[in-house]
Amino acid sequence: MSANTDRYESAVARYFEAWNAGDPEALAKAVAAAWSVEGTYTDPLATVAGHTEIAGLIAGAHEQFPGFAFRPLGAVDGHHNTARFAWELVSEADGSAPVAGFDVITLDADGRIRSVLGFLDRVPAGA
């Protein structure tokens, strides 16, 4: 495994830690560990910048989908300072996954996320 592969996988692991953080304090710490101070997140439903807005977006997802967790699908693929990976949102009660997509992240020199471009492949009606 190359150093770059480790770098991408570490960044993505921190990303999932943030998305799955359970309380506001853990969420704030996980977002700070995953994203650079000026980090951004953009998908078809949201565009946010900075740790506070990113944490707010994640908290909103937890409110909309209580009892769900984000899980990676497949391997992380990357080159230069960019990586991509697929994910799904899984019910901890029954294992259903009503939401799935893939994200492309750009990393800074420290391996923290500068930007996320998210794509939604599966979304329930009315979500």
Q: What is the pLDDT of residues 17-54, one digit of tens each?
A: 999 998 999 999 999 999 999 999 999 999 999 999 99
Closest CA to 64 of 32, 96, 87, 98: 98
- The pLDDT-based confidence of 125 (bands split at 50, 70, 90) is confident
Contacts of residue 105, Cβ cutoff 8 Å, sequence gap at least 6: 11, 12, 15, 82, 83, 84, 85, 113, 114, 115, 116, 117
Q: Span 10-17, mean pLDDT? A: 98
* H or E stretch covering 25: helix 24-34
* H or E stretch covering 49: strand 46-49
